[in-house]
Structure 1
């Protein structure tokens, strides 16, 4: 009561970690080759699909994977009452890690 207000700064900052940051080199999305077309999905007139997977995830502000990961055509025919059996293939190799450091991930694929 009756004193003077504070005239000094209430906080200070000091420089730290002055080493230059590592240069960030943009890496664009890279797709794997398209898989083979799948079988016609129904007897009569049906559709066939094929897929592709990301081989390299974009990083450091590189271009995203904006194109579609699947395609389909709707002009296939399959005889009705044709026996079809499911058959698995071997596992595909692991994909590349999504990050060069930190919390990355990688995926594997099963065959069909």
Structure 2
């Protein structure tokens, strides 16, 4: 895959990919990507967690000690392809919206 920083879309996801590229992340091998789903409360979070698991996602639910906000973390090992990242976020939105949740970004741990 021949990438250059100019090839990334100008949206927020494209900017993150561009930053990761400049950090030296290898786009030719799968990376562990954490997707975040913001959830209003524990009960909704547990329901979303079940639906996400049934849909094939590997997730866990956590509450932030300081803000008390609930987040469902979904872990996906994948190539960093803009379209795939956008599609996964859309899918997380679709699954979590009935529970007042929404896709709230993603991250890759850079070593």
Task: Give the TM bin, normalised by the shorter chain.
Answer: under 0.3
Query: Which structure's residues are more often helix, by fraction?
Result: 2
Query: Which structure's residues are more often strand, by fraction?
Result: 2
The alignment's TM-score, normalised by the length of structure 2, stands at 0.22
**Structure with bigger RCO (C-alpha 8 Å, 6+ apart):** 2
The alignment's TM-score, normalised by the length of structure 1, stands at 0.22
Q: Which has the larger radius of gyration?
A: 1
